[in-house]
Structure 1
């Protein structure tokens, strides 16, 4: 099976539920509190594993109770954690307020995640042996740059969720094979409020771009052209935490299951003029494979928003398959 290396953050989510967000200086009562394993990297790794992916997780946690719990979760999910370093800093935390409408606001304290500034030799070897490298922007930028360089040299298909939006080196986004921002992130990256136009800009140069729009679905683009709008699956959302991470993890797991492997579209510049999956475009996904993967990812994320929490909300491959029939 094609292996998926996820390089990213691992946090313990501290989640409070409340009717609304407080005004500055105001104290209100919450209706519940839970701790849930999270972090965008760990979320995506768990989502990919539950959708049948063969996953390695690379990052760092502290030598504390939260770190122990996160390691135990990875083992329980069948995710290899040889690349999860132990840091003298405390395990990262995310402080999440979820209002009754299902929307959330999040403050992240990076902790051990901030110490991942360069790849270790085992982490580099794991990336080079993978078919996919999945990253986000909750780790320091230097390690993201190093990881992309290692992946491209090894012909690994690269996937980036540019969240949170941080300053990136010139040309970094163009070196990624697939970028998956939400509407706000796409606008901030391109200066375009229109998600269709933003997707076109982000996908220029033989890159895939998928801009997620929540209840409106997602825009799928390749090489500067929008291929279509993938509709959402209507559900009643109660907690949108990690919906985007569920989408990405499920998407990559389905691409891996379809046999897609590197070099990805971005690494196949020699095939200029060829469309996705056509002769000369390398071994990246074809349009049909991407559309099918988006279909699975859309259903997986729709299930996640009907449940509370981050990793606790993510469906299994069997659950998604049952919905798709």
Structure 2
């Protein structure tokens, strides 16, 4: 029996077409330059974070191990969508193959889901540091940190494999035009010419597991953290404790705010337009802002960066 993916009325024999650029024909070259600069800044910014944490012994702590993992993840996360977007800005044929679209969605979901669990692990690290400072080194052992990162990767693999199977087992016999800048579940589901109930239910269930479960854990951690901070007798101690958490809270708010609206809110023509813009937020803008947020609000990172730039300047002069 012929497999679903090769039936004549399925998209397996053709391509998807991106129409996220249709309303911006005059600005194609400008957008190419802007997004190229954003991509380069993401690579350089997150790459610098990884480099200084690896090379500076003062940053060899669990907190910075998670920050390094997050920065490393952001480089791969943006590389799933941005290079293809850059090509489409200057290419006449703005298409992506059926398999290419499936791969793009899978790796975007896989890496984005991993980021959710990684942000939860970072919240737990801050909880232990503030609520159990005397046992911090004992609890946050290297084995636990590696286990949390590995677990974040492992949990996401089967969940998103099932999601991609359901999504691309649907028939796509009508329009192949994706109203977005890259492949994502909501705009691709809009093109299916069959009942999408199973995929919709699976997407909500996967979002509850991958998005909301870590988010609830983060909220629970910060309830404990804020309670512990408010009990501190020293005002200076409270300020320092809040400062160590503020960067993480900003990143969590930006990432979860946009991702939750896109994957949990009901689909309609109006929400698709909003989601199109929000999807750029969690796939491009947040990875670009993360190094800035963490470097500007973390004294140790700023000191390490200044040290690196000073050494580079001295080497160039000599």
Per the normalisation by structure 1, the TM-score is 0.27
Per the normalisation by structure 2, the TM-score is 0.28
Q: Larger radius of gyration, structure 1 or 2?
A: 2
Higher relative contact order (CA 8 A, sep 6+): 2
